[in-house]
Amino acid sequence: MVSKEKGEFLSSDKRTKIKYFIWKNEDVDHRGILQIAHGMTEHIGRYEEFAEFMADNGFVVVGNNHLGHADSVVSKKEWGYFSELEEHPMFLLLEDMHILRGIIQKDYANLPYFMLGHSMGSYILRAYLTKYSEGIAGGIIVGTGKEDDSTMKLGKNICSFLAKIFGWHHRSKLMQKLSYGAPYKGFNMDGTDIANSWLSHNEDSIKEYFADERCTFRFTLNGYYALMDIVIFDNNMENVKKTNKDTPLFIISGSKDPVGNLGVGVKQVYDMYEDAGMNDITWKLYEDFRHEILLEIGRESVYKDILAWVNVRM
């Protein structure tokens, strides 16, 4: 049976307690570690089914609620807010992931260590691997994409302008609207048409999402600024080339995922890594799957593919 433990550590912001969970099955031999980085405006609890699957197959699964999310905040007023602006605000989340990795590796030093990032978590993982890829047995990049630098820089400038008027904690409807570009056209974004949701075809999952206050808050200007900042960082080939060439990468997404521009952006990310000279890189699109492929109808095939991929790279 899979057990679930909760822990906490001091964030790299030096003020917030970051909450994390560990899933493991003591009835099977532990063969590896899988650390999960969740996406924007959600929480690590949404990955429990997948975590239990991996735990039943011998993995110790761990994941934290990012700074500005769920219970990793000083108060709910900081949902969608990361920090006072610095060079790369999102790097606080990256460093928190590294703190958690250190905590887990103390107890499981000899097990191969894999990391998975979904959506916003995929962008953070891509940046993480430019700095800390040594010792990582493999990176699984889920629901990622590629946006033009010019669009991201414009968005950052709009955030800075609005922040001068309203402050960095402001929750802008304009920024929320601007963040949904052309690939989102035709999808429902607010839960009023569940059958046509951008998230997935899984109506039960979508209902749970929109009923959960930890998933329905609006990002702050600070949060949007930080997210666009890390997208620009990930776009820079000089940064991509800093990733250890021997770190295996598995890039997966739904063919109907607007975050990946319906597959186009996913292929662009793959091409960047290929141009950087990565030695073991695989990508796959799941036909007709939308954004949340780990919660999508038919997700069992994704689970099995991830397990098969890590098994080969143990």
Residues 279-313 pLDDT 10s: 999 999 999 999 999 999 999 999 999 999 999 99
Q: Tokens at residue 54, please? A: 């991996």
Q: Which of 214, 196, 216 is nearest to 291 (CA)?
A: 196
Which alpha helices (H) appear in 70-192, and where do they start and end? Answer: 91-107, 120-132, 149-166, 173-178
Q: Domain tally for the chain?
A: 1
Which of 213, 220, 232, 209 is closest to 291 using CA atoms? Answer: 209
Q: Report residue 57's pLDDT band, with 50, 70 and 90 as the boundaries.
A: very high
DSSP 3-state of 25: strand
Q: What is the pLDDT of residue 84?
A: 83
pLDDT tens-digit series, residues 162-171: 999 999 999 9
Question: What is the CATH number for 171?
Answer: 3.40.50.1820
Q: What share of the chain has pLDDT > 70, as a percent?
A: 99
Question: Per-residue pLDDT tens for 205-247?
Answer: 999 999 999 999 999 999 999 999 999 999 999 999 999 999 9
Predicted confidence at residue 86, as pLDDT, reads 67
In the numeric block, which tokens belong to residue 125?
């993982």
pLDDT digits (tens, 9 = 90+) for 236-283: 999 999 999 999 999 999 999 999 999 999 999 999 999 999 999 999
pLDDT value of residue 88:
80
Predicted confidence (pLDDT) at residue 87 exceeds the cutoff of 80:
no
Region 22-41 average pLDDT: 97
E strand or H helix at 37, and its extent? strand 32-37
What is the C-alpha to C-alpha distance for residues 26 and 159, in angstroms, rounded to an integer? 48
Report the SS3 class of residue 80.
Answer: coil
Using alpha carbons, list the distances in angstroms from residue 291 to 182, 197, 259.
15, 9, 7
Query: b/e map of 124-140 (b: 16 or more CB within 10 Å)?
Result: bbbbbbbebbeebbbbb
CB 199 within 8 A of CB 205: yes
Structural contact between residues 17 and 8, judged by C-beta atoms closer than 8 angstroms: yes
| The pLDDT value given to residue 85 | 66
- Per the structure, the complete domain to which residue 193 belongs is given by 2-312
Whether 1 shows a pLDDT value over 90: the answer reads yes
pLDDT, position 293? 98
pLDDT surpassing 80 at residue 54: yes
89 pLDDT band, cuts 50/70/90, is confident
